[in-house]
Amino acid sequence: MTPAELRASIPALDETVYLNTGAHGPSPRRVVDRATQFLEYHEYVSPSEEGPYPTAFDAYEEVREDVAAFLGAETEEIALTQSTTDGINRLATTLDWSPGDVVVRTDLEHPAGILPWRRLKQEGVEVRVVESERGRLDMDQYAEAVQGADLVCFSAVTWNYGTRLPVREMADIARDAGALSLVDAVQAIGQFPVDVREWGADVVAAAGHKWLLGPWGAGYLYVQREVAESLEPHAVGYRGVKEPTSDTMEFEPGAKRFEIGTTNPAPHVALREAMDLNRAIGFDRIERQISTLTAQFVDAVPEGRLVSPPDPESGLVSFTVDDSELAVERLAADGVVVRTIPEPDAVRASFHAFNDESDVEALLAGLDDHW
């Protein structure tokens, strides 16, 4: 599949210049069709055949296998969740926290990587925040902050600057300090290849509704097998234990212990279709298209307006205008969809493989009166 063919398969693009994949990636028709087909089969056919529960459980297992293969993990290292936030919270609520325990995060995190620790801070857990400079971290400061920590949380690709953080280096530093590493990967997976083994992180949380162009509700959580086996989730349901009706409770091996109860399998079934589409296009072509479009846009941004690096590291590019809210509203009225971000106060455009040069030109034309 070519980027042009991908574009033609997404109904949301028929009358819109969509440059907001960093918030939500519009799904191709075949992805939505796959969810619909499964839901109809599950509700209309399976009750009189193999049954809704076996149908769902078979689907869960197939999705785990595909996500594991996509990320370079083992199937038992994948748990199915509802979102990135859900995955982060499943780990946060599993660990036994005591006053004086330490969490480290960066100041580049999305609220998904801030709010769980803010809650723990109310209970006496120390939260250390590593400050950044234009989307970059001082690794010496990071290493110092991690000393004595129990958990480190950071993003693979920052949602506000579009910069890539050195995941392997940060995970190694955390491990050497005796801390677990938790990576928010939702802005990375689908933009470029991700191999969780190469990253070396203990836990990776993500979802398919951004750069993979899947539906909402298809989150997933990678937990390195030995780490998973050492944890006992506080939230427990029949999907996370071997024998739900047993007098004793034995958790499922690996990450599956983090799954809880009845959820609709359709979004995850559609995620499989979205991953297949991603493979059909190929990461080389995806990265090349994103690089071409971001370079075209950045080259036209007036001096002093760019917030992201002048050599973009992802499809996320942030920039300042005279009035962010007004600019986004007027762009939307003209059919160009971008968004504001709060820190720094800026506008963010997201360029994906389905975008083309005409989208960049439309955005630049719409911004002429706002520089």
Domains and CATH numbers, the chain: 1-26+281-365 (3.90.1150.10), 30-276 (3.40.640.10)
pLDDT at 343 over 90: no
pLDDT in tens, 81-98: 999 999 999 999 999 999
pLDDT at residue 351, rounded to an integer: 98
Place of tokens 């958990």: 151
Instruction: Assign 3-class secondary structure to 234-292.
Output: CCCCHHHECCCCCCCCCECCHHHHHCCCCCCCHHHHHHHHHHHHHHHHCHHHHHHHHHH
pLDDT at residue 334, rounded to an integer: 96
Q: How many CB atoms lie within 10 A of CB 122?
A: 7
pLDDT at residue 223, rounded to an integer: 98
Mean pLDDT of the chain: 97
pLDDT in tens, 35-76: 999 999 999 999 999 999 999 999 999 999 999 999 999 999
- Return d(Cα 294, Cα 292) in angstroms, integer: 6
pLDDT at 259 over 90: yes
pLDDT in tens, 292-341: 999 999 999 999 999 999 999 999 999 999 999 999 999 999 999 999 99
